[in-house]
Structure 1
Amino acid sequence: MGNQARSPLEIDAFIQNQSDKERTIDDWLPITSSRNAKWWYSAIHNVTAMVGAGVLTFPYAMSELGWGPGVAVLVISWVVTLYTLWQMIEMHEMVPGRRFDRYHELGQYVFGEKLGLYIVVPQQLVVEIGVCIVYMVTGGRSLKQFHEIVCSGCKHIKLTFFIMIFASVQFVLSQLPNFNSISGVSLAAAVMSLSYSTIVWGATLNKGKQEPVEYGYVSHTQGGTVLRFLAALGDVAFAYAGHNVVLEIQASMPSTPEKPSKIPMWKGAIVAYILVGLCYFPVALVGYWAFGNGVQDNILLSLDRPHWLIAMANMMVCVHVIGSYQIYAMPVFDMMETVLVKRFRFPPGLTLRLIARSAYVAFTMFFAMTFPFFGGLLSFFGGLAFAPTTYFLPCIMWLAIYKPRRFSLSWITNWICILLGVLLMIMAPIGGLREIIVTAKNYTFYS
């Protein structure tokens, strides 16, 4: 006997059952499981997402850019990324009754179901996994520096072991279910970022100009100067990466037609960008003024006194990147768990979360221990994926959706941002790859 046709009531019951299952899964997934965040959640998450490894390399980036180009790049990046962040926040609920809770969902709406995934997901994954790897390296190096300052006579310990210590904290924190559950960690991280940034430029100002300071380019060849310049562009791009998690952060906020989520989200973003500016500009300008082209790729390595203050700053950096790692890991956890539950039909629960997230932390730990090239990683990832997702992909989406009149202010602004972003995407990875190659020449694995 063949299958009997279902009655309309049975079909309705089946559809209802399927929608209930989908709703249950969405209530379990980390991005959509909680929507009770306040405006200041946006502020602390955005500060935590942006201020981190990037601010520590700003004086080094300035040394490769020079005073004029360096200041111009810092200011333009701050303005352009604030504009594209506003676009992302506005597009979160541009369709009445629907929320684009994930970056790739917005991409799918603009470019189509399949093409949107192919365009957005690989870039977003490169950014988020790249940040997690760099923060593993940053956390390990900060712990190592702290150990060497407070215990100068102790036995030398490899960087690899400090990265493992940092990763052990992430194994525990990665089990927190969603963005709102890590708000306490994120708040501590945001406070730490403001604190150590102030310590860095304050200690540098107290140290004064290190004569004979030089502000010329380090490289003696034109090719080397150009490649270092390109790498510095990637360093700056890396520092503005909050766009990759902004929709996911906004998804944690309640929203009604009368009070859409974009209002508190934008309020928090403005506060965050003011704080980001207070961190970025003093560190970059004071650090370069004091050390010139002799500054190291992590300015804390150029500071040694007062010992206790520099040790404290290194520990603050470690605490901050602990929180930053979680901010960037959460969208990856959401993607992993969505695929495992919806495509491979694994039952949602603690066991799945424990295995999947622990495997991700272990992967980033292994990669960080194997390739801890701090400066080169910043430049390479900054140009390759941060430039598209931060500088020009939001502008392309805006043009596709709102279709501003040709040669209007909006049209011109977006095309300028697209042009700058494309140039950054092409040029910065070249310089970053060169930095990695130069560093790797004298590197011993797991040293």
Structure 2
Amino acid sequence: MTGVSARTRVVVAVGGARGDDLAVELRAAGADVRLVVDADAPASAVIDAVPEVDLPGVIELRGELTRLDVLVTTGDRDALTPQLVSACDRFGVRIVALCESAAQRRVAEAFGVVACDLDAAAEELLAPVWNDAPAAPAARGRVIAVWGAAGAPGRTTTAIELACELARDGRRVALVDADAHAPSLAMATGLADEGPGFAAACRQAERGTLTTAELTRIAVRLGPVDVLTGINRPSRWPELGQARVASALERCRDWADDIVVDVAAPLERDEEIVSDLDGPRRNAATLAALASADLVVAVVAADPVGVSRFVRAHPDLRAVIGATPVRILVNKTRTSTLGLDARGQVRRTLERYAGARDMWFAPWDAKAADAATLAAQPVAHVAGRSPLAAAIRRFVGEAIEPPAPARSAQRETARVRRAGVRRARTA
């Protein structure tokens, strides 16, 4: 079979003679079949509470699952479990389910895994992994990176509110947490951070198996926004390598109209100074996201420390993004830290030391921000009429030019339908 790599690892979780025959067919097709086990063995192996003495070889199976490419199993409910799908997502393993009934196909489709006939040939089982190339959409999405200098200028809050506001007119919007230092997007929005998230998308992008359908499956919904949550422990930062992040964001362009990316503050490349080895870089995710961005939203805290930090970091930002447009949002604006003419002071400082001419301001709105934190929801959802929500709405309308809509026809149809419904109600 052309295009199949001999290094591709496969575990066949199909019992009986069919499992042995399938292993022979897969080896003939060029796959590296590591194990042939019973259908329910992988599902049992990922349950930590299972005594290892009850499952001979469970340690070996668990080890193979961590470095596997493809798991071929059946569509039975005992074999295809939420725990197994979640574990395979974490390790970047593609599941192919052999289904002999419509009910089993529905189970496979509910989990978002590939469903094939029970007597499918090896080439058919491997084809979805190496030949999954969906048609390109009419227009590609735009990557918007939200960055700010060290401290807490409000990067995550701004990213969340931008995504919610961009989704208001019907565009498909994705929100990505690419912060390798202090990821907090999931906590701020009340989403579970134990799912596959952006790290799984990066792993699959590196293998060339990331599709728009897979992005939809591993994302979680925040109202109309699709969210790829970040790593749940900062120690997992090596999973967000530069090539992985760049490839994943490039694939996201076929998935959403706008991709809002929350990144960390540091821009240094200190690892290259202390080591000449081509190893992982702690700031690689931030650098890759900024380099991939079509637009950068730079968040500045409206206080002397925040403005000073931004001015000092601005040359480093420009060195990374080159000529990419930057929109400056001065956040937490208030007179208590800068005096009566707070906006004027910030504007003159940024014009003089950062060469910035256009900037927008968001107020210090502690009431709305606290309400959003208490509810673990975006400000747009809990305080849509607050000064902060209005400022973000104005910023999006003035500073972020809407791209050519990839789905304008669908949105126009929906608008006409809603107008017809309103007329019918008032008639």
Verify same fold: TM over 0.5.
no
Flag the structure with higher strand content: 2
TM-score (norm 2): 0.24
Q: TM-score, normalised by structure 1?
A: 0.23
Which structure: greater helix fraction? 1
